[in-house]
Amino acid sequence: GAVVSQHPSWVICKSGTSVKIECRSLDFQATTMFWYRQFPKQSLMLMATSNEGSKATYEQGVEKDKFLINHASLTLSTLTVTSAHPEDSSFYICSAQTGAIQETQYFGPGTRLLVL
């Protein structure tokens, strides 16, 4: 149980285009979903926290107009990278949580984005 999927697993796009990444909790309802970014040989950095039906909370330094997050249901959150540029190339990982902050987060397999 507690499986989280991400789609696509990898994407290559041209600079200036927008890319949408989906995160789904397959067998549980996620009240909260998190989006992380990981640059090569670095650790995961939290980008934003989203609760179903409300606006996402972004970490300092993350542009909310560039990284659009929608958490429309208890099993789906999407991250849209708008007007992507090469510096946005990274590994994006989502996680889902069923309840309080001390509960376990279940991580997706990640999406590798390459912007040319």
* x/- track of binding to another protein for residues 16-45 (CB under 8 A): ------------------x-------xxxx
Locus of tokens 């600079």: 15
Of the candidate spans 17-25, 70-78, 79-87, 88-96, the one that interacts with another protein by CB under 8 A turns out to be 88-96
Of the candidate spans 16-24, 69-77, 80-88, 100-108, the one that interacts with another protein by CB under 8 A turns out to be 100-108
Q: What are phi and psi of 97, to 5 degrees?
A: -135, 145
Question: Binders of another protein among 45-64, rule CB under 8 A?
Answer: 45-46, 49
DSSP characters over 46-85: EEEEEETTS--EEPTT--TTTEEEEEEETTEEEEEE-S--
